Amino acid sequence: METFLIPASLIAGGLLAVQAGANAQLSKATGSPFAATTLQLSVGTLALLVLALLSGTLTAISSLPKVPWWHAVGGVASAFYVVSTILLFPRLGAIVSVGLFIAGQMLASFALDASGVANGAPRPIDAPLALGMTAILAGAAIIVRGQAGQQSQPVQGKAGWIVLALLAGAVLPIQGVVNGLLRHDLGAPFVVGAVSFLVATLAMAAALLFSAVVLRAPAPTLQGLPTMPWWGWLGGFAGAVYVTTVFTAIPVIGASAAVGLTVAGQQLASVFVDRHGWFRLPKREVSPLRLAGVVLLLAGVAAIKLL
């Protein structure tokens, strides 16, 4: 199982680049990132329910009222993360925001492993773990530095937004742990994923309503959907694979390794997306410094898991 989950986590992270490209098309078609994310999460929910039905595990949902309520609300983290990206990208820039998200993810993963929350037994803060964490955080910093000229904003005087970015990253591994507890309760990974996505969909729908009623944001439209490329709907499927893989991997290989692998996979895939302009995104030169950061990320994961 462990041998399978290591490459699976790397691939699941790579699918986040697919999700980002697909969601960009869906946002353009609907005119609202909130509406696009709500639709994307709805697609993921439906896909996971179909998989649960085909696998014969859908009946596990009947046990949901018996589990602690907080085991079922992991999906709120997805909505919090998405709303944070919408708020942060214009204020800190996409590149700096992503770097802070990675830092938040890895710091939270480190805490989960060290406390034993992630897999039931505390991991000692030994040299491989410390070295790997240092390498991953340094790799994230180098990636930000390597893209500094592309889309960054000055961050002086924005401490509150920086804290929000770190928290937005930190909730993702916590979501994986909470979903892992729900899997222990129900014993059905596809049902757990569907519950997580349904909760996230409802939370995003609430955010969409808030933006429309309170912030007076323009109402989303469905007129652009017929002309959207078919792969614009793939974001929900990519997200479903990511969420299911993470909560399956964390109890087996640890939070730091699982999250580090998904981060590395995301950055590897993003290199190709930027270099070739996939998903109708603008082509960007991939600097040697950025490539070095990705290599350092992978080295950090290897140190955590293999040394």
Please tell me the predicted confidence (pLDDT) of residue 204: 95
Cβ(119)–Cβ(202) below 8 Å? no
Task: Give mean pLDDT, residues 64-81.
Answer: 95
Q: What is the pTM of this model?
A: 0.89
- Flag whether pLDDT at 156 surpasses 70: no
Sequence-separated (6 or more) residues with CB below 8 Å from residue 114:
122, 123, 125, 129
DSSP code at position 222: S
Query: Cα 82 to the chain's mean position, in Å?
Result: 9
Task: Give mean pLDDT, residues 193-212.
Answer: 94
SS3 164: helix
**Greater confidence, 1 or 62?**
62
Half-sphere exposure of residue 147, counting CA atoms within 13 Å on the CB side?
27
Spatial CA neighbour of 175 closest among 196, 191, 203, 206: 196
- Flag whether pLDDT at 3 surpasses 80: yes
H or E, element range at 152: none
Give the tens place of pLDDT for each residue, 36-60: 999 999 999 999 999 999 999 999 9
DSSP string spanning 247-278? Answer: HHHHHHH-HHHHHHHHHHHHHHHHHHHHHHTG
Please tell me the predicted confidence (pLDDT) of residue 157: 62
What is the rounded CA–CA span in Å between residue 116 and residue 277? 41
Please tell me the predicted confidence (pLDDT) of residue 117: 85
**Sequence spans of domains, the chain:** 2-306
Please tell me the predicted confidence (pLDDT) of residue 169: 93
**Greater confidence, 84 or 154?**
84
Confidence band for 262, pLDDT divided at 50, 70 and 90:
very high
Please tell me the predicted confidence (pLDDT) of residue 48: 97
